[in-house]
Structure 1
Amino acid sequence: MELGLREAKKQETRQLISDHATRLFLEQGFEETTIAQVAAAARVAKKTVTNYFARKEDLVLDHQDEFVATLADAVSSRQPGESALAALRRTFEAAVAAKDPVAGFAGQEFSRMIAESPTLSARLRVLHEQRERALADALADAVGSSRSDIIVRTAAGLLGAVHHILFQRIEELTLAGRPVDEVAETVAAEAAQAFDLLEPSLGNYAVA
């Protein structure tokens, strides 16, 4: 019980810091806001902030582990008879229907903050690269091949690129001020076209 309370308190503190940081970043801009200001707003020591968030950008991209794992998890949990492409397509469609922030539905203010910050934009590119590498690992396991296999790496590159493009498309429409329902409807239709392009080459690849 004591451990559970301690963990709950830690999670509460982490969320408090994250909430205050997001508010300040949206008000002042990411680059202009300091860790000291975040600590003061959350009424904690500066060291407490850095204990919970190793990098300043982690305060914004606090779902990055989940983001990096999304494509690999979709492949690893594909259904019997389902290809990697079909599993990724199905899970992306579900994310769009749910308007999942991890898929890019973060709102106009948040998306603008990311786009206007060189630090956050660079970090997001790294996360897309890490997500593709994690996908390659999952595909290698799925087909019983080496991580260095050119087919595995090519498949991961193609599948990762489609998801990266669709993520950018969601951001683009969001920044243009389109209503979220319209963004979801537009991206769902465009995603169908994008995934269709890969069907001839990857439709039967890594079938469970």
Structure 2
Amino acid sequence: MDQPVSLRERKKDQTRRLLMRTALELFERRGFDRVSVAEVAAASSVSKKTVFNYFACKEDLVLGAGKHHIDEPARAVRERRAGQTPHDAVREYLLTALAERQPMTGLSASPYVRRLQRLIADTPALTARNLHYQQESRGLLAEALAEEGASEVSAALIAAQILAVQEVLAAQNARRVLAGESPDSVYADAVTATEHAFHLLERGLGDLLRRSAATTTYADSD
């Protein structure tokens, strides 16, 4: 059963959301590069130190909400079932995220998420930081692949191919939504594109690292 959220955790979450929304309003109004962390803090009635207690850097005031997705592809690979390849595990993970309209797929209907997407697309510093997180995600996925016997080079190549697919698909979805299409109207095409992309990937990667029924998973060993 889920543990109840404490009052302290609720207050922390409220502060985090306040900082992000205040920052977004200031960044939209004046430009990301023209607003300091101190100004975000003052507008939120907290100290600059408090901001950095919640966010490692200024860019995370925009990108921080999606940081929990960084390790998800690696986790999907580690927890995949018997008979499933790494690329199929990530495909399944992405299809679930599409069905849930998660923001990382580009299919969110949230006006707030769309504002974030526009700001990221229009701000080189945010685009660069986002690329850093994509690289971090690829590194974590490569580690998961190497744990199962892939060489360092093979693990890096496989991770790069799988996550390049994810990034291209998400960018395509986001472009259509930002252009005015509803996430629901894009969904069927997004699923088709995902299936097509991973079909092409599968033809290149084939049965590499397919998990046998005898392999013990991390979930099985808990």
The TM-score range, normalised by the shorter chain, is 0.7 to 0.9
- For residues 8 and 21 of structure 2, the distance between their equivalents in structure 1, rounded to whole angstroms, comes to 20
Report SS of the residue matched to 2:209: coil
Match of 1:117 among 120, 123, 137: 123
Question: Residue deviations 1:65-95, cap 9 Å, x none?
Answer: 3121121111011112111111111110111
Q: Percent of pairs identical after alignment?
A: 37
Q: CA RMSD in A?
A: 2.0
User: Aligned runs of 1:45-194 on 2, under 5 Å?
Assistant: 45-106=47-108, 107-141=113-147, 143-146=148-151, 148=152, 150-194=153-197
Separation in structure 2 between the aligned mates of residue 28 and residue 104 of structure 1, nearest angstrom: 25
CA–CA distance in 2 between the matches of 1:32 and 1:179?
A: 32
Is 1:9 paired with 2:11?
yes
How much does 1:27 deviate?
3.8
Q: Which runs of 4+ in 1 moved over 6 A?
A: none
TM-score by length of 2: 0.82
Deviation for aligned residue 1:176 = 1.8
- Contact 2:27/2:35 (CA < 8 Å) preserved in 1? yes
* Aligned-residue offset at 1:5: 4.5
User: 1:26, 1:110 within 8 Å by CA — same for their partners in 2?
Assistant: no
Q: Deviations over 1:28-83 (max 9, x none)?
A: 43233322321122111122212322211011111343121121111011112111
SS in 2 for 1:169: helix
Asked whether the equivalents of residues 85 and 205 of structure 1 are also in contact (C-alpha less than 8 Å), the reply is no
Preserved CA contact (<8 Å) 1:111 1:174: no
Q: How far did 1:13 drift?
A: 2.3
Counterpart Cα distance in 2 of 1:192 and 1:31: 39
Give the direction of change, closer, same or farther, for the CA distance of 1:111–1:7 in structure 2 (3 Å limit): closer
Q: Which moved more, 1:95-104 or 1:176-185?
A: 176-185
TM-score between both structures, scaled by the size of structure 1: 0.87
Give distance in 2, aligned partners of 1:145 and 1:89: 20
Counterpart Cα distance in 2 of 1:7 and 1:179: 34
Equivalent in the alignment of 2:28: 26
Q: Which runs of 5+ in 2 are unaligned?
A: 1-5, 212-222
**Displacement of 1:8:** 4.2
> How many residues in Structure 1 have an aligned counterpart in Structure 2?
202
Q: CA deviation at 1:139?
A: 1.0
- Larger mean Cα displacement after TM superposition, 61-70 or 128-137: 61-70
| CA distance in 1 between partners of 2:10 and 2:184 (Å) | 35
Q: Match of 2:215?
A: none
Structure 1 residues 29 and 171, CA gap change in structure 2 (3 angstroms):
farther
